[in-house]
Amino acid sequence: GAVVSQHPSRVICKSGTSVKIECRSLDFQATTMFWYRQFPKQSLMLMATSNEGSKATYEQGVEKDKFLINHASLTLSTLTVTSAHPEDSSFYICSAQRRGTANYGYTFGSGTRLTVV
Amino acid sequence: AQKITQTQPGMFVQEKEAVTLDCTYDTSDPSYGLFWYKQPSSGEMIFLIYQGSYDQQNATEGRYSLNFQKARKSANLVISASQLGDSAMYFCAMREVSTGGFKTIFGAGTRLFVKA
């Protein structure tokens, strides 16, 4: 149990276009979903925390208008990179916390490698 | 200041031997959680083990155990009987209370190489 599906796994887009990444909890309801960014050979950087039905909480330095997060249901959160530029190229990972499990690990998606050309 | 510190960028271990991956943390929150994750070359993050700040005993999960020393603020991961498949990046993480809920921050990671 506790599977998180992240789609797409890999995407290449042209500079100036927008890309949407989906994070879906398949067999549980996710109270909270998190979006991370990981640069090559570096740790995960938390971008934002999203709770179902409310606005995402962004970390300092993360542009809200550039990284749009929507958490419309208890099983789906989306991250849209708007007007992507080459510096947005990175590995994006989502994670979800199962509803009712305050003290346990999060389940991560398999990640999305975004390349902006 | 670094909240999560993993001082070993890379570690080598012989297959079947035990290895300890270091992690120290810094928080003023009395209630927090500590996690270890494994990230293979494929990129996905795999949850390994969890330790709550109020837990009296060290957490164990199969070959993984967490050496929790609260006074020293350390939460080292011990992998017993290493296997070739353990070669991966390992991240220590801490969840603490933040505005709007909880926040989890990650250490820089330790890359583990298991030698045959």
- B42 and chain A: CB distance < 8 Å anywhere? yes
Q: Tell me what the pLDDT averaged over chain B comes to.
A: 91
Residue B68's pLDDT band (boundaries 50, 70, 90)? very high
At B3, list the tokens: 């909240």
Q: Say which amino acid occupies B12.
A: F
User: Which residue in the set A32, A43, A109 is minimally distant from B108, CB to CB?
Assistant: A43
The residue with tokens 């996690």 is B35
Residue B61 has pLDDT above 80, yes or no: yes
Calculate ∠ Cα A10-B112-B4, nearest 5°: 85
Cα-based distances in Å from A7 to A29, A76, A113, B5, B58: 18, 11, 10, 31, 36
User: Which residue in the set A44, A93, A103 is minimally distant from B52, CB to CB?
Assistant: A103
The residue with tokens 């599906």 is A5
The per-residue pLDDT for range B16-39, each reduced to its tens digit, is 999 999 999 999 888 899 999 998
- B64 and chain A: CB distance < 8 Å anywhere? no
Residue B111's pLDDT band (boundaries 50, 70, 90)? very high
Residue B67's pLDDT band (boundaries 50, 70, 90)? very high
The per-residue pLDDT for range A19-59, each reduced to its tens digit, is 999 999 998 888 788 999 988 777 888 899 888 778 888 98
**pLDDT given at position A43:** 81
The per-residue pLDDT for range A69-117, each reduced to its tens digit, is 998 888 999 999 999 999 999 999 999 887 666 555 678 898 999 999 9
**Chain A / chain B CB contacts < 8 angstroms:** 55
Q: Which of residues 65-104 of B touch A (CB under 8 A)?
A: 91, 99-104
Residue B59: count of CB within 10 angstroms of its CB = 20
E strands, chain A, in order: 4-7, 10-13, 19-25, 30-38, 44-51, 57-58, 67-73, 76-81, 90-98, 107-108, 112-116
Residue B5's pLDDT band (boundaries 50, 70, 90)? very high
H or E element: which one contains B66?
A: strand B64-69
Residue B1 has pLDDT above 60, yes or no: no
Distance from CA of A115 to the nearest CA of B (A): 15
Residue B100's pLDDT band (boundaries 50, 70, 90)? low
**pLDDT given at position A39:** 80
- B107 and chain A: CB distance < 8 Å anywhere? yes
At A96, list the tokens: 């979800």
The mean pLDDT value for B100-109 works out to 80
